[in-house]
């Protein structure tokens, strides 16, 4: 039983997947990440997302990570498990496994495979319909990584016809405009409009009606005041809190990508290694130095949690 009741809203950062220096899973480190994120004051945690290097783990590792993370969190906050796959059968299998081990929500992109393979609206609907049979809420991730178009009318139709598929993570060019259109057209069927992309467009997206955000695990404790102020109608305070953290968010988004959270957590003693799996490459030492310099000025919890 999670501590937050539906509809889910607020801060749902993406947890990194932790590896030893030899590239094997570091499950002790993974458990520490879960505990650190809860101490960061998150409203929920997303695992096995793109920022978790989900495309670089085996099916067996995915199973182990799902069970390990859910066991460690033990209902303290809701856990969202990413189940994206081109195969509907595989996505359904992942969804049922996650739901069976205590996941609160599922997230997945529409089926995609390269730029030349197009999936029709009927098949997209059927994909999410079958995944929703796992019996827990589903979030559709609308991200540039997928070549499958997800126009607002299709998203609204899915939300109206599938009561469990009413959460949306929008992270496309013009996210605020798409969120605004989605909320206006979908009304009450849009239960959870979220944004992503490390929070690089967070203020515009909150102004457009976003009720949640999915940043990385780098500085969620510093992102949360932005949400709290905005939700309480204190927009000027939200803007000031956002302006304070925007330089490091920009650095993460433009220079580091998914490696940023790991670098900060390693510097803060949360994890022993910030290794990423090939073909991803480590941060250049100067890039790491610049990131940690910006982070140190803000003193996020992850930079001291393990010391």
Query: In this structure, is residue 307 part of a structural domain?
Result: no
Query: In this structure, is residue 23 part of a structural domain?
Result: yes
Residues annotated as part of the active site: 169
Predicted local confidence at residue 144, as pLDDT: 78
**CB contact at 8 A, 171 and 197:** yes
Query: In this structure, is residue 132 part of a structural domain?
Result: yes
Give me the number of domains the chain comprises.
1
Query: In this structure, is residue 55 part of a structural domain?
Result: yes
Query: In this structure, is residue 120 part of a structural domain?
Result: yes
Predicted local confidence at residue 5, as pLDDT: 57
Residues in contact with 111: Cβ distance below 8 Å, sequence separation at least 6, in sequence order:
85, 86, 87, 88, 91, 119, 123, 124, 127, 148
**CB contact at 8 A, 198 and 252:** yes
pTM: 0.96
pLDDT tens profile 173-220: 999 999 999 999 999 999 999 999 999 999 999 999 999 999 999 999
Largest CA distance in the chain: 52
Give the span between the Cα atoms of 194 and 205, in whole angstroms: 8
Query: In this structure, is residue 174 part of a structural domain?
Result: yes
Q: What rounded mean pLDDT belongs to the chain?
A: 95
CATH code, domain with 200: 3.20.20.70
What residues are designated binding site for pyruvate? 214
User: By residue range, what is the domain housing residue 222?
Assistant: 10-243
What residues are designated binding site? 214
> Which stretches of the chain score pLDDT less than 50?
1-4
Query: In this structure, is residue 285 part of a structural domain?
Result: no
Query: In this structure, is residue 111 part of a structural domain?
Result: yes
């Amino acid at each position: 039983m999670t501590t937050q009741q539906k509809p889910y809203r607020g801060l749902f950062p993406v947890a990194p997947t932790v590896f030893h220096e030899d590239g094997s899973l570091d499950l002790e480190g993974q458990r520490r990440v879960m505990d650190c994120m809860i101490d960061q004051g998150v409203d929920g945690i997303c695992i096995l997302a793109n920022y978790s290097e989900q495309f670089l783990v085996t099916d067996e590792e995915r199973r182990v990570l799902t069970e390990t993370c859910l066991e460690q969190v033990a209902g303290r906050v809701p856990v969202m498990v990413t189940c994206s796959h081109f195969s509907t059968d595989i996505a359904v299998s992942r969804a049922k496994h996650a739901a069976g081990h205590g996941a609160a929500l599922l997230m997945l992109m529409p089926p995609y495979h390269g730029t030349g393979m197009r999936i029709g609206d009927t098949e997209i609907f059927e994909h999410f319909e079958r995944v929703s049979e796992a019996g827990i809420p589903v979030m559709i991730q609308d991200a540039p990584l997928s070549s499958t178009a997800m126009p607002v009318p299709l998203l609204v139709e899915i939300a109206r016809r599938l009561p469990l598929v009413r959460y949306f993570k929008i992270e496309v060019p013009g996210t605020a405009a798409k969120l605004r259109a989605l909320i206006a057209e979908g009304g009450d069927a849009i239960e959870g409009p979220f944004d992503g992309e490390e929070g690089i467009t967070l203020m515009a997206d909150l102004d457009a009606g976003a009720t949640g955000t999915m940043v990385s695990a780098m500085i969620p404790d510093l992102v949360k005041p932005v949400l709290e102020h905005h939700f309480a109608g204190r927009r000027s305070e939200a803007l000031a809190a956002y302006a304070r953290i925007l330089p490091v968010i920009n650095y993460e988004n433009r220079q580091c990508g998914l490696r940023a959270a790991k670098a900060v957590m390693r510097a803060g003693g949360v994890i022993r290694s910030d290794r990423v799996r090939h073909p991803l490459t480590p941060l250049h030492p100067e890039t790491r130095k610049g990131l940690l310099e910006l982070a140190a000025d803000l003193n996020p919890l992850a930079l001291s949690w393990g010391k």
